[in-house]
Amino acid sequence: GESVGLHLPTLSVQEGDNSIINCAYSNSASDYFIWYKQESGKGPQFIIDIRSNMDKRQGQRVTVLLNKTVKHLSLQIAATQPGDSAVYFCAETPGFQKLVFGTGTRLLVSP
């Protein structure tokens, strides 16, 4: 399949570990922050979002934390599985007409 990115920051973990992927965003006025997963040869897939008036939101095996003071967003994946291997992007919505993506992080999960 297509390679999403060749020189992205990479996080390597063992299967079963917890993973934490970080992101810095730029626009204080963004309403929502979203995490996407992109597998090779595919488009970004929605994982979880968080509204700007929240600081934590949990999904199935994933948690997003938002720190507006330092404009920082993180994605925690519990019990990481080989199928979680992909490139992860954060995105923000400075106005609801577009998404602004951050630089991605490649997650490699070893069995």
2 binds other proteins (CB under 8 A): yes
Of the pair 14, 40, the CB lying nearest other proteins is at 40
Structural contact between residues 107 and 84, judged by C-beta atoms closer than 8 angstroms? yes
Among 58, 67, 79, 98, binds other proteins (CB under 8 A): 98
Among 19, 80, 85, 93, binds other proteins (CB under 8 A): 93
Site string for other proteins, 45-84 (x = CB under 8 A): xx--x-----------------------------------
72, 73, 71: which is closest to 63 by C-alpha? Answer: 73
Residues that bind other proteins (CB under 8 A): 2-8, 31-32, 34, 36, 41-46, 49, 89, 91, 93, 95-104
